[in-house]
Amino acid sequence: MQRIAYLIERLALGVLMIGGIGMMMSMFLGVADIVGTQVLRIPVPGPRELTESTMVLIVFGALAYAQIRRAHIRVEIAYLRAGPKMRAVMDVVADIAAIIFFSLLLWQAYLEAQYSLQIGEATVGLIRFPLWPARFTLVAGTGLMILRLLVDLVLDLRRIRTGAPLPEFNDGIAVDIAGSARDA
CA 72 to chain centre: 10
Alpha-carbon span 111 to 175, nearest angstrom: 39
Question: Quick one: pLDDT at residue 96?
Answer: 98
Q: Could you list the beta-strand ranges (E) of the chain.
A: 168-170, 173-175
Q: What is the pLDDT of residue 116?
A: 96
Task: Count H helices and E strands in the chain, helices first.
Answer: 5, 2
Q: Give the three-class secondary structure for 168.
A: strand
Contact (CB, 8 A) for 139 and 13: no
pLDDT beneath 70, residues of the chain: 169-184
Give every CB contact of residue 119 below 8 A, 6+ residues apart in sequence.
none
The model's pLDDT over 85-125, given as tens digits with 9 standing for 90+, comes to: 999 999 999 999 999 999 999 999 999 999 999 999 998 87
pLDDT for the residue 72:
85
Given this model, what pLDDT does residue 177 score?
37
Angstrom distance (rounded) from CA 39 to CA 100: 50
Closest CA to 102 of 150, 156, 159, 53: 150
pLDDT given for residue 159 in this prediction = 94
Q: What is the C-alpha to C-alpha distance for residues 163 and 106, in angstroms, rounded to an integer?
A: 33
